[in-house]
Amino acid sequence: MRLAYYDNAQVWYCEHDKIVCSNEEVLADGTHEKCGNPVVKRNLKQWMLRIPHYAERLLAGLETVEWPEGIKDMQKNWIGKSTGAEVDFQVDGHDKIIRVFTTRPDTLFGATYMVLAPEHELVNQITTEDKKEDVASYKRKAALKSDLDRTDLAKEKTGEFTGSYAINPVNGEKIPIWVADYVLMGYGTGAIMAVPSNDMRDFEFATEFNIPIKPILDPDEADEETRARVVKGEECWEEDGVFINSSSSFGGLDINGLKKQDGISKTVAWLEEKGLGTEMINYKMRDWLFSRQRYWGEPFPVIHWEDGEIEVMDDHALPLELPKLANYTPGDNGESPLANAGDWLSVTDAKGRKGRRETNTMPQWAGSCWYYLRFTDARNDDEPFSKEAEHYWMPVDQYIGGAEHAVLHLLYSRFWHKVLYDLGIVSTDEPFTRLFNQGMILAFAYESATGAKVASDLVKEKDGKYFHSQTGEELKQIVAKMSKSLKNVINPDDVVKNYGADSLRLYEMFMGPLEATKPWTELGVKGVFGFLGRAYRFFTELKNIHQDEEDPGITKSLHQTIKKAQQDIEGLHFNTAISQMMIFTNNCIKKGKVNKQSATTFARVLAPFAPHLAEEIWSIHGEPPTIANQPFPEYNEEYLKEDVFEYPVSFNGKLRFKLELPLSMPEDEIRQQVLDHESAAKWLNGGEPKKIIVVKGRIINIVI
């Protein structure tokens, strides 16, 4: 199967600017964001990629990668797999067939009408004479509606009867065929069977247009009142239940008394046997429109010959580079600026045949889908990347990026990578093994009581409250994205100038979990700046440093620090790794002295976080450059062993006192020790304990 094809696609076109607009540029009222003039739909020949062909593989691959579940869910929803059946309905009095997709073939008995999308090709053919005008007018209106109008605002259902009827294949009943824009041409077959008793949208439509609602399901698990209403067809029920009114001698199908799953299997088997339908899987994901009408972007290496042949250029003729243009204005009829590139545009082959180059260019995805592969071998002039480099580096062990890429970049590049894998160009099926979504760093901003945002340079602080420096109005401090208009942008260069690069880096890691969205505070930077200063002073001042054997408490704390930092780095919990380093430093400062060996070992733990300062400590101790080449220290489990534990002793779950006991003490003895403790009597209050729970090295709980 060819993965790319060239065909008509609908695009938004602004006749004022004479350009094709992206969806985001089209406002809800159907006008162009930039110029305010209305946009129209227009057909343009475009390159499309058949990404749904990879839908199953894209779903299956999600099970093999370590990604946040939320992102996986978003991709699954985007792919939107649904299993159901395609069913054929005969149009009464025509030799036409309307094919529909449904996830609920079991509800065929409840189908009381059908709906075609306004763009459906059968609409004109089956509309009766007396309805032609109304239907044509409805189609025009639907075509003018923007996508948003058609979806968001159109809670009120609209539609028009075509005058024709279809035959319900399960019972031979004639059901009216309507046209309505709540059915989309781009999904399924662009036509549906409507079951108002069991589909909310159909229920609303049927109510609006007085179409019969035929109950076919008894919701046996619902409350009595709901059940009664549903069985009378007064309420819509989308959950499971027991089928009623679902048999007919017309086709011989009977699913009365069955529940949803059995109803589906039996109906599908019946449809397949009669040749009226088949089981079918549908995806929400559509073909991917890959053409853009812009100058910037990779040009398609394609020539359109005068005889109609569309030729893809040979590899050896690549790369096809963009021509230098004096004028970047769009070509006619929404064509890209390349349509103006005279010399570049026209080609003649050896036989004198004339051709024109493709003027569309590729979207930025063409680069972002595989840039990580180029990164493995960026200076390779002969090929995109060597097999060796790809094999060595791929797949990406840890990909860090924002959650906003969840369904576009991260899905497109997975698709791209799988295609390359199938072509034998890359050696793995998935590009990114682990994915991590870092949070955004925000900043404080200020707003008035009316919600108006106030730029930070107009804000005065007094006693923890904030005021407008001109109006004196009291302001509320809020957290918002950094923006020029709010004047709350933090320039990293300034932070580096005032506090140093190590402080900037350390603060960003210390301010909270990597995935959290959190506001920048200058006081926070001061905090880590202070820590770095304390550490630097303590570990470099000669009076603090000794060569004797290290104090066991300090050794223990050092090894705890190595262990915690190592584990936290692996888990990307940098904030807690840093707090452990602060604890170690505080311990040393309290002790007042430290062994030289401990000081340089600590410098090696600190080095990945604050490389400059760690290097200073390292070199002041006469160690050879550079600490960057030193391995991360290893901890020794021996030093971390505990032989006593201070047990928290609680009565009925309430902590009452603490008791230090050897960890080796058997449970029976612990029980005795606890009961003999002077404070125990007070809480036992003369009574006998019901139960004493001892969790070794954790807790003691006495139930009274």
Partner RNA sequence: GCCCGGAUGGUGGAAUUGGUAGACACGCUGGACUUAAAAUCCAGUGGCCAGUGAUGGCCGUGUGGGUUCAAGUCCCACUCCGGGUACCA
Question: At closest approach, how far in Å is the CB of 250 from RNA?
Answer: 22
Binders in 388-417 for RNA, by CB under 7 A: 403-404, 406-407
Binders in 215-274 for RNA, by CB under 7 A: none
Closest to RNA by CB, 295 vs 651, is 651
Q: Report angle CA 638, 639, 643 to the nearest 5 degrees.
A: 85
Closest to RNA by CB, 287 vs 390, is 287
30 binds RNA (CB under 7 A): no
Q: Are 247 and 241 in contact (CB under 8 A)?
A: no
Find, among 157, 206, 151, 159, the residue nearest to 178 by Cα. Answer: 159
Helix (H) or strand (E) holding 576: helix 574-591
Question: At closest approach, how far in Å is the CB of 369 from RNA?
Answer: 18
Question: At closest approach, how far in Å is the CB of 695 from RNA?
Answer: 5
Q: What are the residues whose beta carbons fall under 8 Å from the beta carbon of 473, sequence distance 6 or more?
A: 448, 449, 467
- Return d(Cα 140, Cα 27) in angstroms, integer: 20
Find, among 596, 613, 607, the residue nearest to 531 by Cα. Answer: 613
| φ, ψ dihedrals at 593, nearest 5° | -155, 160
Extract the tokens encoding 652.
């009925």
Find, among 20, 24, 18, 25, the residue nearest to 9 by Cα. Answer: 20
Rg of the Cα atoms in the chain: 36
Question: At closest approach, how far in Å is the CB of 163 from RNA?
Answer: 21
- Packing angle, helices 611-620 and 522-540, rounded to 10: 10
Find, among 145, 141, 95, the residue nearest to 122 by Cα. Answer: 95
465: left (phi over 0), alpha (psi -120 to 50) or beta: beta
Q: Which string of x and - marks every residue 310-339 that binds RNA (by CB under 7 A)?
A: ------------------------------
- Name which position in 245, 575, 597, 630 contacts RNA (CB under 7 A): 575
Stretches 187-195, 319-327, 626-634, 665-673: which one binds RNA (CB under 7 A)? 187-195
Binders in 510-549 for RNA, by CB under 7 A: 510-513, 516-519, 521, 523-524, 526-528, 530-531, 533-534
77 binds RNA (CB under 7 A): yes
- Name which position in 29, 646, 667, 668 contacts RNA (CB under 7 A): 646
Q: Tell me, what amino acid is at 382?
A: D
Question: At closest approach, how far in Å is the CB of 432 from RNA?
Answer: 18
Question: At closest approach, how far in Å is the CB of 683 from RNA?
Answer: 8
Closest to RNA by CB, 134 vs 204, is 204
- Name which position in 301, 331, 608, 648 contacts RNA (CB under 7 A): 648
277 binds RNA (CB under 7 A): no
576 binds RNA (CB under 7 A): yes
Question: At closest approach, how far in Å is the CB of 580 from RNA?
Answer: 8
Task: Report CA 613 to chain centroid distance, whole Å.
Answer: 38
Closest to RNA by CB, 309 vs 461, is 461
Q: Are 689 and 703 in contact (CB under 8 A)?
A: yes
72: left (phi over 0), alpha (psi -120 to 50) or beta: alpha
- Name which position in 451, 622, 653, 686 contacts RNA (CB under 7 A): 653
| φ, ψ dihedrals at 643, nearest 5° | -115, -15
- Name which position in 578, 599, 617, 680 contacts RNA (CB under 7 A): 578
Q: What are the residues whose beta carbons fall under 8 Å from the beta carbon of 39, sequence distance 6 or more?
A: 12, 13, 14, 15, 21, 26, 30, 31, 32
- Name which position in 18, 229, 284, 596 contacts RNA (CB under 7 A): 284
In a 13 Å sphere around the CA of 104, the CA atoms on its Cβ side amount to 23
- Return d(Cα 278, Cα 86) in angstroms, integer: 6
Closest to RNA by CB, 107 vs 291, is 107
Q: Where are the beta strands (DSSP E) in 22-173?
A: 39-49, 81-91, 97-102, 113-116, 160-167
Stretches 177-185, 239-247, 327-335, 549-557: which one binds RNA (CB under 7 A)? 177-185
Q: What are the residues whose beta carbons fall under 8 Å from the beta carbon of 175, sequence distance 6 or more?
A: 111, 112, 113, 114, 165, 166, 167, 168
Longest dimension (CA), the chain: 112
Q: Tell me, what amino acid is at 219?
A: P
- Name which position in 117, 230, 396, 419 contacts RNA (CB under 7 A): 117
Q: Tell me, what amino acid is at 88?
A: D
- Name which position in 13, 47, 67, 101 contacts RNA (CB under 7 A): 101
- Name which position in 462, 484, 590, 641 contacts RNA (CB under 7 A): 590
Extract the tokens encoding 182.
């709540």
Task: Report CA 403 to chain centroid distance, whole Å.
Answer: 5
Closest to RNA by CB, 2 vs 155, is 155
Closest to RNA by CB, 428 vs 456, is 456
End-to-end CA distance of the chain: 74
| C-alpha to C-alpha distances, 600 to 506, 528, 620, nearest whole angstrom | 19, 20, 10
Stretches 12-20, 267-275, 465-473, 568-576: which one binds RNA (CB under 7 A)? 568-576
Find, among 493, 588, 513, the residue nearest to 545 by Cα. Answer: 588
Q: Which string of x and - marks every residue 188-207 that binds RNA (by CB under 7 A)?
A: x-x-xx-----x-x--x---
Question: At closest approach, how far in Å is the CB of 426 from RNA?
Answer: 28
650: left (phi over 0), alpha (psi -120 to 50) or beta: beta
Find, among 447, 440, 586, the residue nearest to 513 by Cα. Answer: 440
Q: Which string of x and - marks every residue 655-674 that binds RNA (by CB under 7 A)?
A: xx-x----------------
Q: Tell me, what amino acid is at 440?
A: M
Binders in 443-502 for RNA, by CB under 7 A: none
- Name which position in 21, 123, 126, 183 contacts RNA (CB under 7 A): 183
Binders in 603-642 for RNA, by CB under 7 A: none
Closest to RNA by CB, 101 vs 178, is 101
Closest to RNA by CB, 17 vs 149, is 149
654 binds RNA (CB under 7 A): yes
Closest to RNA by CB, 262 vs 309, is 262
Closest to RNA by CB, 114 vs 607, is 114
Closest to RNA by CB, 301 vs 439, is 439
Binders in 350-369 for RNA, by CB under 7 A: none
For the beta carbon of residue 140, count every other beta carbon within 10 angstroms.
Answer: 10
- Name which position in 256, 433, 586, 673 contacts RNA (CB under 7 A): 586
436 binds RNA (CB under 7 A): no
Binders in 130-159 for RNA, by CB under 7 A: 147, 150-152, 154-155, 157-158
- Name which position in 75, 102, 168, 488 contacts RNA (CB under 7 A): 102
214 binds RNA (CB under 7 A): no
Binders in 674-693 for RNA, by CB under 7 A: 691, 693
